[in-house]
Structure 1
Amino acid sequence: MKTRMRADLRTAMKDGRGGDARLIRSLIAAIDNAEAPPARASSGAAEQHRFLSGSAEVERLLLDAERVRAILLAEIEEREQVTAEMDRLDRPDRADAIRAEARLAASYLSRS
């Protein structure tokens, strides 16, 4: 999924679709954040690592398709809530833009 998103990001940037590029970057970041392993309780902020030793490298979590789908659904739901708020505030231009973001995010669900 992230490979497809990164390819779509490059295309959006080449085509000058800044809004789409921002959204895709945001979706990739949400998935990247979920892949981050939890911090170890015993490690302090000042833990020393030898340069280029690889001791600071931590393996990312592997997310299954269902977890990635849940992340995308949460991103879509968040945008739908913002859209409702923009409608309530009588900001149809902003609501339409966010609605378009939700549709683009939803397109990744149908392609998975």
Structure 2
Amino acid sequence: MKTLSEIASRLEEERQRLMLDYQTLAERTGLTPLSVRSVLQGRTAPRITTLMAIADQLGLEVLLLPKVVASGLQAHTVEEPPPALSRVDRIVAETSQLAGAHIKSTKPKGA
């Protein structure tokens, strides 16, 4: 189970990433700026409805998972997906593959 401090840190991290100030987040959740700040700094144990409202406005979801599932998720690291190839890179790669296939198919047997 995550600690209150870990939950607060994750919410605060997302607030900063979205560049939201406490006032704006408070307005969007219907809470006071002081309440929002207290929750995100881990000074207050929020009601579940408060936690859900803040998480929702930060684009996060509050989930309850079986411990075995949660431990499995923590064991896996998330890798960054490979960078997308530009259209030019893709065309060059396809052309190279086609050229290689053509060269292979025109070689005389035994060569």
Q: TM-score, normalised by structure 2?
A: 0.24
Structure (1 or 2) with the larger CA radius of gyration: 2
Q: TM-score, normalised by structure 1?
A: 0.24
Using CA pairs under 8 Å that are at least 6 residues apart, name the structure with larger relative contact order, 1 or 2.
1
